[in-house]
Chain A
Amino acid sequence: MYDPTVARLTYRGLLGRRRALILGALPVLLVVISLAVRGFGGADDQVAADVLGGFALATMVPIIGVIAGTGAIGPEIDDGSVVYLLSKPVKRPTIIFTKLIVAIAVTMVFSAVPTLVAGLILNGNGQQIAVAYTVAALVASIAYAALFLLLGTVTRHAVVFGLVYALVWEALFGSLVSGARTLSVQQWALAVAQKVAGGDLVTSDVGLPTAVVLLAAVTAGATWYAGQRLRRLTLAGEE
Chain B
Amino acid sequence: MTELSIDHVSRWFGNVVAVNDITMTIGPGVTGLLGPNGAGKSTLINMMGGFLAPSTGTVTLDGRPVWGNEQIYRHIGIVPEREAMYDFLTGREFVLANAELHGLDEKAAREALATVEMEYAQDRKVSTYSKGMRQRVKMASALVHDPSLLLLDEPFNGMDPRQRMQLMDLLRRMGDEGRTVLFSSHILEEVEQLASHIEVIVAGRHAASGDFRRIRRLMTDRPHRYLVRSSDDRALAAALIADPSTAGIEVDVAEGALHIQAVDFGRFTALLPRVARDHGIRLLTVSPSDESLESVFSYLVAA
Question: Which A residues are within 8 Å of any B CB, using their own CB?
Answer: 3-6, 8-9, 12-13, 16-17, 79-81, 83-92, 231-239
Contact = CB atoms under 8 A, between A and B. Distances in A.
B74 A89 contact: yes
B68 interface: yes
Contact of B70 (A3, A12, A92, A233): A92
Given A236-B43, A237-B43, A237-B46, A91 B88 contact: no
A86 to B, nearest CB: 7
A2 to B, nearest CB: 13
B251 interface: no
B86 A84 contact: yes
Contact of B101 (A85, A92, A233): A85
Interface in B68-91: 68, 70-74, 76, 78, 80-82, 84-86, 88-89
B46 A234 contact: yes
B296 interface: no
A239 B88 contact: no
A17 B76 CA distance: 31
B73 A88 contact: yes
Given A87-B73, A237-B42, 19 more contacts: A6-B101, A8-B97, A9-B97, A12-B89, A79-B82, A79-B84, A81-B82, A84-B101, A84-B141, A88-B101, A89-B70, A89-B102, A89-B103, A231-B68, A234-B46, A237-B45, A237-B46, A237-B81, A238-B82
Contact of B85 (A3, A84, A86): A84
B88 A13 contact: yes
Nearest to A6: B101
Interface stretch (B47-55, B165-173, B261-269): B47-55
Contacts of B46: 234-237
Contacts of B28: none
B101 to A, nearest CB: 4
Contact of B153 (A8, A13, A88, A237): A237
A88 B52 contact: no
Given A83-B82, A87-B73, A239-B37, A234 B98 contact: no
Nearest to B43: A237
B239 to A, nearest CB: 46
Interface of B: 13, 18, 37-38, 40-43, 45-46, 49-53, 68, 70-74, 76, 78, 80-82, 84-86, 88-89, 97-98, 100-103, 141, 153
A6 B18 CA distance: 33
Given A88-B98, A88-B101, A231-B68, A236 B13 contact: yes
Contacts of B100: 4-5
Contacts of A234: 46, 51-53
Given A235-B52, A236-B52, A239-B43, A89 B86 contact: no
A80 B149 CA distance: 21
Contacts of A84: 85-86, 97-98, 101, 141
Given A5-B100, A236-B13, A12 B51 contact: no
A238 B50 CA distance: 16
A91 B69 CA distance: 9
Contacts of B45: 237
A86 B89 CA distance: 18
B64 to A, nearest CB: 13
Contacts of B52: 234-236
Contacts of A232: 53
A211 to B, nearest CB: 37
